[in-house]
Structure 1
Amino acid sequence: MLAVMIVVSGAARAGSVFSFDATPGRLPKTVVPISYSIELRPDAEGVALPGVEVIDVDVREPTARLTLNAVNTTFASVTVDDGAERADVALDAVSETATFTFTQPLAAGAHRLRIEFTARINKFDRGFFFVDYPAGNSIKRLLTSKLEPADARRIFPCWDEPAFKASFALTVIVPRRFLAVANMPITREEMLEPNLKRVAFAPTPKMSTYLFVLTVGELERITTEADGVTIGVVATTGKAAKGQFALDTAVKLLAWFNDYFGVKYPLPKLDLIAVPGGFGGAMENWGGITFFESRLLFDPASNPDSARRGIFGIIAHEMAHQWFGDLVTMAWWDNLWLNEGFATWMATKAAEQFYPQWQSWLNGYGQKQFAMTLDARRTAHPIQQPVANESEAMVAFDAITYNKGQALIRMLENYLGEAAFRDGIRAYMAAHAYGNTTTADLWRALERAGHKPVTEIAASFTEQDGVPLISAETVCNGGAQRLTLRQGRFVIAPARTAALPSRDWQVPVAIGPVGAAPSPDIVLLRGHAEMPAGSCGEAIKVNLGDIGYYRVEYGPASRAALTKSLPQMSTADRVNFLADSWAMVQAGRAEPPSYLALVEAISVDDRRPVWDQVITVFSALNRLSRDRAERAALQRHARAKLRPVLDRLGWDGSGSGDDDDTLLRSSLIWTLGELGDEDVVAEAKRRFARFLGDPQSLPGALRDSVTHVVGVAADRAIHDTLLVLARKSTVTNERLRYYHAAASARDAALAGATLALTLTDEMPGTIVIGMINSVAYSGEQPDLAWDFLQKNYDALFAKLGPQFRDQFIANFMTNFSDEGHAAELAGFAPVQATSGGRVMTGRAQETIAISADLKARALPAIDAWIRARN
């Protein structure tokens, strides 16, 4: 096929390079912190955090007022320059600030503040918080921190915006039996009475406040040395040995990242800290990454072998942040994607490097698909989006920021070439180490290294929302075939809504014949293009290799040729073709049965990613059909397509336990159980009953899916058994498995009992959120759960914190697909309290409306198609 390069001109929307004074934020830039010296004395039982801090500041112009951030903090005294003057303190709870007013203006230049204060230790995962966890026959308490985006202010008064970088010298006073872990190594321990010790840590390099970390409790640590860095895994007593896989992973990733970035990891130590509750992911604190325990520790007795994939991925993501985010930090939250998009991309790239058998790009195709689904909506936002305040920063941590960011970076690397892209990243790191940047700084570095117009391409994807739609059709002329490409905007919106504005992108489009070697032609498309495309009838695939971030809609001739050639496509292209076909149904651009007809062409022995895509669609249709007449026929059809795949694999197939067949088997059991396959449910019950007497009888790879299916079908006895198993386990991933299975029971009385448990001290907030979601989603009791949330709002808000109000409730309401519940959400006053909450509410309302529209369009048409076939 003839290679075509269409280069178009246009004004680059590049944004501006970093300028401290021009960076958005709410704090005045007249006073800048240089260093903090902080002493904290956590009171775990009294949940208070007394402290004293000394801050060296640079006053840039004379001022008698100094404003910084503080939340839920009381002040004993604020003085300047060794007590030369005492300040009056005024607190503003809405802006989360404290203003110090002096009788005389501070002269321009260096000054030193001394602040005595008391902050709170929270029960929810913001600021400094406590986690109660089971250990043997007792309950222990651990204290730890989580500060992104803007919760350092909950620990100590500070300039809590990322552009205000400073160094931090921390000292803590804790019980002697506790281990304290922070960003830097311990430099001194001093024994105090009674049974206390003062622990001092080395000062950090310049960093943003949200990267500060402190964890204290009955902990143990395993370590090794790698490339001059002490790498450790920290866990509660008795669990550190389960961190060996994580430790080994961190060692090889450190060497690889040192080489890739061209700048060595600059701190003397890096700890990976397992937190047994409190938050569900991980946080990239510089030198002390915190993880939800089940995301870090691996135990072959309780984990499936495939759990190593998730552990590797999250470690790679957070370690990539040690450079992209920690060493070089975005100036403000509008450029959050610089942190998260890059780290998400790098985690998959690292997995391909060290575990190519996992095929992480192929098996992770759903990340990009999810981003494109959100990005096709009216409530989509640009990757680089305006962020007015901290509540809006919190809701910016979404699939567009992470997954669209990842997809864009992969597409740009493919366009520039791997070596040129890496050279650009190395130049960017070297130029901006210990500083702040904007997106424009990154484009400049990549453009100089790659000698291609990166800025114009990238800006069209980062500075506007939306998904490009490439319409492709082939036409024969004599014996030759020509391909026409036209660009538009892909939109998913309810019927009878106003059209969204058009968009214009510069899209690197990969094109090639099906079955050819993976060396596609690249067309840099803006508008439309026409080109030779082989001989008549030859199947021409657009987005060959599924690297591009765009949807493709094929004309009748192209689609027919590609459908006929489906078996000859690479797995990635089959998945892409299926995913785009379903997307056209979602957007109302194709009739719903067209996707099911395409599924008929899939072989029962096709690869896991292909069947995972089908499972995803069948599961979505099953959710939409809850309480609908079409459900029975839909479930029968889905079972008829999926059951032969499970029969081929068998329940006890051979394999490593970490291969695609093993993972597909687990997905099929889970899904067929939810679809009501009586044989699968019966077999799951039989295996679970045997497991209760002989835990080794159920392989780790099947425990999650078997337990889930048993939970969905549970009666009172099984439900109670699941809760007993959860309560007696001290292993976090086991506790989650049993609690969530119990919450998945379809019986309304059992669902009510599960919901009541969430108000007790039995489980931390992370499990509470999962339990309520499981009741609504897997247990199919959303109305029961919604009634519970409304009646118990105050208690749940006290337990779960602001994210319950600003994020969880809106996300929870997407379990519904009717206008009535959308209206109920809009009328629920607490979700309107912050601008971030209002953003989430708008997104949820649109999700509900789109689901209602798809339900009305798709289910009758699919039902008619199924009945006609039968």
Structure 2
Amino acid sequence: MEQFKGQPRLPKFAVPKRYDVRLKPDLVACKFSGSVYIDLDIVADTKFIVLNAAELSVNAGSVSFAHGGLSKVFKPSKAETFEDDGILVLEFVEMLPIGSGVLVIEFEGILNDKMKGFYRSTYEHNGEKKNMAVTQFEPVDARRCFPCWDEPACKATFKITLDGVPSELVALSNMPIQEEKLNGHLKTVSYMETPIMSTYLVAIVVGLFDYVEDHTSDGVKVRVYCQVGKADQGKFALHVAVKTLELCTEYFAVPYPLPKLDMVAIPDLSFGAMENYGLVTYREIVLLFDEQHSAAANKQRVTIAVAHELAHQWFGNLVTKEWWTHLWLNEGFATWVSYLAADSLFPEWKIWTQFLDEVAAGLKLDGLEESHPIEVEINHAAEIDEVFDAISYKKGATVIRMLQSYLGAEVFQRSLASYIKKHAYSNAKTEDLWAALEEGSGEPVNKPMNSWTQQKGYPVISVKVKDQKLEFDQTQFYSSGSQGDGQWIVPITLSCGSYDVRKNFLLQAKSETLDIKEFLGCSVGKAGCGGISNKDNALCSWIKVNVDQTGFYRVKYEDELAAALRNAIEKKQLSETDRFGILDDSFALSMSRKQSFASLLTLLNWQHVRNRLQHFPKLQWWHRSLQWPITSQMGTKRTIGRFWCAFHPELPATHKNSIKNRPANKKMEGKGIPGTPVAGFQARLPALSAWSCSV
């Protein structure tokens, strides 16, 4: 048995096809008992069956394997659980015959308070504290509820039955109820069999709930369950869910696979929400919206959360990652689709400008030397939780949007629909998605995108003009200012003088030079000139790289190009997202000592920049400047916020006072940086430049 310990994945001796799971939860004693009948295919000669189980008391005497073609029942000579690996090893005296059979196991467990596996959550009803039973199986905790092959690739169907449920409680699972039998004050609830799915998507909820209900245009029943008396607070999420199911059905060209969708507000949930197939669980604050008392911003939070989880019904549930290395396929796509849905449902929110929150968070984390690639090799179940981070979610979503922008929205959508149809009810790897996009677009995808998913970090693209040649150079960006050796195949988008003049190309080398006239059909003028003139003498006044910030990289412009962009900002020729992108890149480059602070503050002096940050409430400059640390060569930790009030009298007074009272401002004054606001922004640039160089 020792040979099975410490392995990243289960051996392939046996393949599960169907589970018949019976569970009897005791909400008073906070424990449960159960049995599972697993239809198996034995596919290789073996004396062992190895599956997952953790924190379960297995009744060894109940374990048996009956071969479908024989009358013989095989009993294991040993049954041992290895808790560190979450596996149950069954050893038999003789070889098990190849072919189909049924494995039977009885077990007991605890309704734990760890918010994983089969656990208990608490709520109040009529002033009395009560327990509910809830499951949270992602990533590897179905094994805490019943013995199973707890890996995404081991898909099977599931027949769930709950025994001993108090008759007044609501009992939910992935599928609709098939039969309900009353026995006094208890009931037995049986559910329809699920389609093929992974174990981490199996779900059960038992508690006291109210609900609101609606239907999609193609007849799918949608309900939102919440605590008694809060049903009205589920109406907004219900509306979003119905519309999102319809949108995803159209976008992916594949109907929602189940006859119903339940969404349940849970008081205690380890994640913000969980995409269980047909039974999505949410923290209450993420799902419920009170028209009388909730802040307007909560509508966006509910919309994004609901759309994210429902996108998973296709990307993750219908088509499932083959292994946790490909987690980003689930989370990156669901994050991207959540914004796609929100923009469709509420265009007035201008949600893609707010998507820059996701981009900025991904760039910040991935600019650290301690970051990791989107795809991470997982060698043990204990490592999986570590990849549920901003790299999988936020960088993943941004890389998807970058690819969509490069290939085009229509081509991208058609290719995704083809991918979903091909891999429905199965598993996929990252390269399967690249193959579908490559086939649908006719463009190279696999090699360029591997450079984004298989190495950490991202590049800064330096751009300059020389003799009407546009020169591009890429280096790895680290927020520390260190030099990295990464290289990417970068989907470059750029506009010249107008968003009507837009070009795309792949930057495949460290450096590349393009003839501006040949590539863009125009020449670059000096900063302050009047844009594109006429067809015979086309002259563009500015060049913006990474149009609308759809790419996951930063851009550094030479002085002449930067001046032209400042002029375009002043003339309101750039979009809000591009204005922010220029600002964010300039800030990051200054903080990493790749450009002077004088360049940053010259940019910030344009009132048109400052006046148009209203769509980025989380990213307003004073807010971020208070939080981003600078470390000097002497190791002194400071923040830009400590001298920011010296240059921005409009800084909110509460923040200004907290900044200027900090002791570090005396050090700055000693370097010629005044500690209180004074007039004349340009006059202060030389002092600041000298200060920034000394840091």
> Same fold judged by TM-score > 0.5?
yes
Does structure 1 residue 525 correspond to structure 2 residue 507? yes
Partner of 2:63 in structure 1? 78
Partner of 1:196 in structure 2? 186
Q: Does the CA contact (< 8 Å) of 2:526 and 2:564 recur in 1?
A: no
Q: Distance in 1 between matches of 2:639 and 2:153?
A: 55
Q: Identify the structure with the greater strand proportion.
A: 2
Structure 2 counterpart of 1:605, from 611, 617, 642 = 611
Q: Does the CA contact (< 8 Å) of 2:177 and 2:191 recur in 1?
A: yes
Does structure 1 residue 42 correspond to structure 2 residue 31? no
CA drift of 1:111 comes to: 1.0
Per-residue displacement from partner, 1:155-177 (whole Å, max 9, x unpaired)?
Answer: 11110010100111111121111
Q: Distance in 2 between matches of 1:863 and 1:59?
A: 76
Q: Distance in 2 between matches of 1:862 and 1:236?
A: 60
Q: Distance in 1 between matches of 2:481 and 2:640?
A: 22
Q: Secondary structure at the match of 2:112?
A: coil
Does structure 1 residue 577 correspond to structure 2 residue 582? yes
Residue 93 of structure 2 aligns with an amino acid whose one-letter code is T
CA drift of 1:186 comes to: 0.6
How large is the Cα RMSD of the aligned pairs? 2.8
Q: Identify the structure with the greater helix proportion.
A: 1
Listed as ranges, the gaps of 5+ residues in structure 2 are 1-6, 517-522, 528-540, 679-695
Q: Distance in 1 between matches of 2:672 and 2:280?
A: 53
Partner of 1:564 in structure 2? 567
Partner of 2:530 in structure 1? none
CA drift of 1:65 comes to: 1.0
Structure 1 counterpart of 2:595, from 586, 590, 595 = 590
Q: Does the CA contact (< 8 Å) of 1:539 and 1:562 recur in 2?
A: yes
Q: Distance in 1 between matches of 2:568 and 2:553?
A: 22
Does structure 1 residue 338 correspond to structure 2 residue 338? no
Q: Distance in 2 between matches of 1:862 and 1:369?
A: 34
CA drift of 1:371 comes to: 1.0
Residue 525 of structure 1 aligns with an amino acid whose one-letter code is L
Q: How does 1:307-322 map to 2 (within 5 A)?
A: 307-322=298-313
CA drift of 1:591 comes to: 3.2
Q: Does the CA contact (< 8 Å) of 1:182 and 1:213 recur in 2?
A: yes
Q: Does the CA contact (< 8 Å) of 1:167 and 1:203 recur in 2?
A: yes
Q: How does 1:324-363 map to 2 (within 5 A)?
A: 324-363=315-354
Stretch of structure 1 that moved more, 527-536 or 210-219: 527-536
Q: Secondary structure at the match of 2:224?
A: strand
Partner of 2:219 in structure 1? 228
Structure 2 counterpart of 1:243, from 228, 234, 254 = 234
Q: Distance in 2 between matches of 1:62 and 1:630?
A: 65
The change in CA–CA distance for 1:580 and 1:518 in structure 2 (over 3 A counts) is farther
Partner of 1:614 in structure 2? 621
Q: Secondary structure at the match of 2:561?
A: helix
Partner of 2:479 in structure 1? 492
CA drift of 1:444 comes to: 0.9
Structure 2 counterpart of 1:428, from 419, 423, 448 = 419
Q: Distance in 1 between matches of 2:648 and 2:631?
A: 17
Partner of 2:158 in structure 1? 168
Partner of 1:764 in structure 2? none
Q: Distance in 1 between matches of 2:130 and 2:149?
A: 33
Q: Secondary structure at the match of 2:369?
A: coil
CA drift of 1:427 comes to: 0.9
Q: Does the CA contact (< 8 Å) of 1:286 and 1:322 recur in 2?
A: yes
The change in CA–CA distance for 1:418 and 1:676 in structure 2 (over 3 A counts) is same
Per-residue displacement from partner, 1:418-472 (whole Å, max 9, x unpaired)?
Answer: 1111111111111111000111111111111111112222112112222021101
Q: TM-score, normalised by structure 1?
A: 0.69
Q: Does the CA contact (< 8 Å) of 1:622 and 1:635 recur in 2?
A: no
Q: Secondary structure at the match of 1:504?
A: coil
Q: Does the CA contact (< 8 Å) of 2:336 and 2:401 recur in 1?
A: yes
Does structure 1 residue 98 correspond to structure 2 residue 103? no
Q: Does the CA contact (< 8 Å) of 1:47 and 1:121 recur in 2?
A: yes
CA drift of 1:485 comes to: 1.2
Q: Does the CA contact (< 8 Å) of 1:482 and 1:534 recur in 2?
A: no
Partner of 1:144 in structure 2? 134
Q: Does the CA contact (< 8 Å) of 1:230 and 1:270 recur in 2?
A: yes
Structure 1 or 2, whichever has the larger Rg, is: 2
Listed as ranges, the gaps of 5+ residues in structure 1 are 1-23, 644-671, 679-779, 781-854
Does structure 1 residue 442 correspond to structure 2 residue 422? no
The change in CA–CA distance for 1:182 and 1:375 in structure 2 (over 3 A counts) is same
The change in CA–CA distance for 1:187 and 1:83 in structure 2 (over 3 A counts) is farther
CA drift of 1:674 comes to: 6.1
The change in CA–CA distance for 1:622 and 1:336 in structure 2 (over 3 A counts) is closer
Q: Secondary structure at the match of 1:39?
A: strand
Q: Distance in 2 between matches of 1:442 and 1:628?
A: 44
CA drift of 1:26 comes to: 1.4
Per-residue displacement from partner, 1:380-423 (whole Å, max 9, x unpaired)?
Answer: 22212211122221110111111111111111111111111111
Q: Secondary structure at the match of 1:95?
A: coil
Q: Secondary structure at the match of 2:293?
A: coil
Q: Distance in 1 between matches of 2:639 and 2:435?
A: 54
The change in CA–CA distance for 1:83 and 1:210 in structure 2 (over 3 A counts) is farther
Q: Does the CA contact (< 8 Å) of 2:63 and 2:105 recur in 1?
A: yes
The change in CA–CA distance for 1:262 and 1:25 in structure 2 (over 3 A counts) is farther
Q: Distance in 2 between matches of 1:434 and 1:115?
A: 27
Q: Distance in 1 between matches of 2:551 and 2:156?
A: 39
Q: Does the CA contact (< 8 Å) of 2:649 and 2:677 recur in 1?
A: no
CA drift of 1:862 comes to: 12
Per-residue displacement from partner, 1:587-631 (whole Å, max 9, x unpaired)?
Answer: 221234543443232345324135634144223148999x98989
Per-residue displacement from partner, 1:691-740 (whole Å, max 9, x unpaired)?
Answer: xxxxxxxxxxxxxxxxxxxxxxxxxxxxxxxxxxxxxxxxxxxxxxxxxx
Identity %: 34
Residue 151 of structure 1 aligns with an amino acid whose one-letter code is D
Partner of 1:795 in structure 2? none
Q: Secondary structure at the match of 1:608?
A: coil
Which structure has more relative contact order (CA 8 Å, sep 6+)? It is: 1
Per-residue displacement from partner, 1:59-115 (whole Å, max 9, x unpaired)?
Answer: 112322111111111012212229923323111111111111122221111111111
Partner of 1:541 in structure 2? 544
Partner of 2:114 in structure 1? 124
Per-residue displacement from partner, 1:39-61 (whole Å, max 9, x unpaired)?
Answer: 11112222212111111111112
Residue 558 of structure 2 aligns with an amino acid whose one-letter code is G
CA drift of 1:474 comes to: 2.4
Q: Does the CA contact (< 8 Å) of 2:42 and 2:97 recur in 1?
A: yes
CA drift of 1:375 comes to: 1.7
Per-residue displacement from partner, 1:478-529 (whole Å, max 9, x unpaired)?
Answer: xxx442211221122376xxx43x2222212112235x23552112212222
Q: Distance in 2 between matches of 1:566 and 1:340?
A: 35
Q: Does the CA contact (< 8 Å) of 1:165 and 1:209 recur in 2?
A: yes
Q: Distance in 1 between matches of 2:620 and 2:584?
A: 7
Q: Does the CA contact (< 8 Å) of 1:599 and 1:614 recur in 2?
A: no
CA drift of 1:586 comes to: 2.8
Figure out how many residues of one structure are paired with residues of the other and give that number.
633
Q: Secondary structure at the match of 2:491?
A: strand
The change in CA–CA distance for 1:125 and 1:362 in structure 2 (over 3 A counts) is same
Partner of 1:793 in structure 2? none
Residue 289 of structure 2 aligns with an amino acid whose one-letter code is F
Q: Secondary structure at the match of 2:649?
A: helix
Q: Distance in 1 between matches of 2:232 and 2:22?
A: 31
Partner of 2:101 in structure 1? 111
Residue 552 of structure 2 aligns with an amino acid whose one-letter code is Y
Q: How does 1:590-739 map to 2 (within 5 A)?
A: 590-592=595-597, 594-603=599-608, 605-609=611-615, 612-621=619-628, 633-634=642-643, 636-637=645-646, 640-643=649-652
Partner of 1:399 in structure 2? 390
Q: Does the CA contact (< 8 Å) of 1:575 and 1:609 recur in 2?
A: no
The change in CA–CA distance for 1:863 and 1:517 in structure 2 (over 3 A counts) is farther
CA drift of 1:279 comes to: 2.7
